[in-house]
Amino acid sequence: MEEILSFEVREGYEGLRLDQFLSKVYPEYSRSFYQDLIEKGFVLKNQQVVKKPSLKVKLNEVYFVTIPPPTPIEVEPENIPLKIYYEDEDLAVVYKPPGMVVHPSVGHTSGTLVNALLYHFKNVSMYQGRERAGIVHRLDKDTAGLLVVAKSEFAHKELQKMFQNREIDKKYKAIVVGLVKKDYGMIDLPIGRSIYDRQKMGTVATNLRDALTEYWVEKRWEKHNLTMVDIKLHTGRTHQIRVHFSAIGHPLLNDEVYGFKKSKLTSDTAKQMSDLLNFHALVAYSLTFKHPRSGKEIKVQLENLPEPIPYILEKLND
């Protein structure tokens, strides 16, 4: 079935090209995908078809976008570099770089982690179809870090159960805006589709589901009004860490969807470091779980955080 979405131009988005605006407020699809929809007449403003992707949007305008029914996606193996941290016959733990989409979808038919898995592994679980080959859990496009992937159907089913039963320990590191007061805390706020902006998740929302995030403060930079936190996820809601830290007034550095404008950054160094990032400052750096077949504990950690985060930390510590 086709899907009809509506988008209001809010403060901070006025003056953008229409295709750029749509890709920013609803990044599930690429800018080129929206360009194609616009040119084919699937975008309306005031009940009139708009066919210019370059049209500059204005504050408070409302656009209606019809997403046609998806067509089957041909998923091909692609020789994309892939860091493999652990591998056996049942599963593997791999690194997903920032900017990479986990699995193909309309608008993202190549260059995904699944394309890489199909190339690098002779056997990958097809339990949920070729488009999601091996995928048991996901990371946002602009979140870097470790993912466990299933090679056997047995492991796929068992890992899914383990995630549902919260038996997999997932840890993240993040740089957030502001000085987090408590050295330790639990954020217990249900998450659903925001009632204010349906393109986003939120804590004032419909279809709320429980969400629990535990954190420890690692470092505060008072001069730069930034904090580094170590995070453990107890649930796996969409955008959970980003929503939770935004809800307590400490959004991730460089999070364009849930974050502050850069004017909220209080030092030139912080602004420069934010400009260096082309992803939000969140990394899934550790995975610990029991092997679904042997019961042996598997613990994998990144040896280094992805660039430019180490450089940013060095500059903030100067």
Residues annotated as catalytic (active site), given as ranges: 140
Distance separating alpha carbons of residues 107 and 97, to the nearest angstrom: 19
Q: Enumerate the β-bridge partners of residue 182.
A: none
- CB environment 236-251: b (16+ within 10 A), e (fewer): ebebbbbbbbbbbebb
**CA distances to 40, 129, 173, 237 from 233, in Å:** 42, 27, 11, 9
Backbone angles phi, psi at 24, to 5 degrees: -80, -45
Question: If you search the block for the tokens 């002779």, which residue do you land on?
Answer: 122
Q: Is the peptide bond before 310 cis (omega within 30 degrees of 0)?
A: no
Distance separating alpha carbons of residues 112 and 317, to the nearest angstrom: 35
- Contact of 128 with 155, CB cutoff 8 Å: no
Q: CA neighbours within 13 Å on the CB side: how many for 152?
A: 11
Distance separating alpha carbons of residues 148 and 167, to the nearest angstrom: 13
Backbone angles phi, psi at 15, to 5 degrees: 90, -10
- Contact of 227 with 200, CB cutoff 8 Å: no
Cα dihedral 129, 131, 136, 138 in deg (nearest 10): -160
- CB environment 78-106: b (16+ within 10 A), e (fewer): eebebeebeeeebbbbbbbebebbbbbbb
- Helices (H), ranges, the chain: 18-25, 31-39, 113-120, 153-164, 240-247, 268-276, 309-317
